[in-house]
Amino acid sequence: MTSERWSTHAVEFRGDVVTKRYRKGDVRALLDREWRALTLLDAHAPGLAPAPIAVDRDAVPPTVVMSRVPGVPLRGAPVDAERLSAMAEALDALYGAVPQDRLVRVPVRPDHEAGLSARLRTRHGRNPSPADAAAVREALREGMAWLDGRDRAAAPGAPAPVFGPGDGNLANYLWDAETSRVAVVDFEDSGRSDRAFELAEITEHVSAWIDGGFDTAAFLARFELDAQERTRLRECRRLLALAWLSILSSEDPAHPRNPPGTAERQALRLRELLG
């Protein structure tokens, strides 16, 4: 969900070519996931994502060069019905792009269900801070209680694997008005996942609701989910909403990345999802 690595890379645009330099975090892992995604999608769904051009793992910092795809980010403006449909079509293509015999050899994406749950428990020992509003503290308490109860419940069957981009930020979905298509960029957290978790990654990303221009219900209605996926989607949305509340409650008040009151709004969102 790229929640705590806000500046992992620098991007340079030159004509039809993009150079991405990884400068923070586990840079080799970030680069390898990006390059693997670009090469897989170029082979199995060309045009959906940038085409890989070159990789230099020994450069300082390590670098990937890729083609530049046309379009403007969906974040920051209302996402109308045409764009929602194009985004859903792109995601359907992306999730099913990698053949299963190849997908089983792709590592599970970072911050998938088990890893994210473990990280929440690690963070919970130091959250919330005394400065957090009472609503934030109470929502975090309720969320962690739900997570503990969920872990004690019987685990459902394993969902069907898909290739997931791993980042729900609407800025990574580029709308091309000339073709009425959406392309996907930024794959440094990509890997094997499942459809319900990836859809929750998008709907619960702060970019999907903070600007008020993304219709979550209309977006999800564009996917044919069976009963098991609908149940899993609800659970994954709760987990991702809890993760975002944990992140937002930890922001430095002296250097906020989001508007005042964002954590309180997220607390309300989580409590609504918890019912």
pTM score, two decimals? 0.93
Return the minimum-mean-pLDDT range out of 6-20, 51-65, 178-192.
6-20
Q: In which order are the strands placed within the sheet that holds 9-14?
A: 9-14, 17-22, 63-67, 52-56
Query: Which residue has better confidence, 123 or 196?
Result: 196
In tens, the pLDDT along 157-171 reads 789 999 999 999 999
Give the whole-number percent of the chain exceeding pLDDT 90. Answer: 81
How does residue 5 score in pLDDT terms, banded at 50, 70 and 90? very low
Give the long-range contacts of residues 251-254, CB within 8 A, separation 24 or more: 253/131
Encode 184-199 in three state secondary structure: ECCCCCCEEEEHHHHH
Peptide bond into 61 cis (omega under 30): yes
> Position 239: which residue type?
L
Peptide bond into 52 cis (omega under 30): no
Say if residues 15 and 4 touch (Cβ distance below 8 Å). no
CA distance 263 to 12: 33
Return the minimum-mean-pLDDT range out of 36-45, 90-99, 120-129.
120-129
How does residue 197 score in pLDDT terms, banded at 50, 70 and 90? very high
Give residues with Cβ within 8 angstroms of 8, minimum separation 6: 2, 22, 23, 24, 25, 27, 30, 188
Give residues with Cβ within 8 angstroms of 19, minimum separation 6: 11, 12, 63, 64, 65
Q: In this model, does residue 131 exceed pLDDT 70?
A: no
Q: In this model, does residue 270 exceed pLDDT 60?
A: yes
For helices 262-274 and 227-248, angle between their N-to-C axes, nearest 10 degrees: 150
CA distance 161 to 195: 7
Q: In this model, does residue 153 exceed pLDDT 70?
A: no
Which pLDDT belongs to residue 133?
85
Say if residues 230 and 200 touch (Cβ distance below 8 Å). no
Which pLDDT belongs to residue 259?
87
In tens, the pLDDT along 54-108 reads 999 999 999 999 999 999 999 988 999 999 999 999 999 999 999 999 999 999 9
Topology of the domain comprising 69-274: Aminoglycoside 3'-phosphotransferase; Chain: A, domain 2 (3.90.1200)
In tens, the pLDDT along 243-252 reads 999 999 988 7
How does residue 206 score in pLDDT terms, banded at 50, 70 and 90? very high
Rounded to an integer, the average pLDDT of 196-220 is: 95
From the list 63, 83, 66, 61, the residue with the least C-alpha distance to 74 is: 83
186 φ/ψ sector (left φ>0, alpha ψ -120 to 50, else beta): left
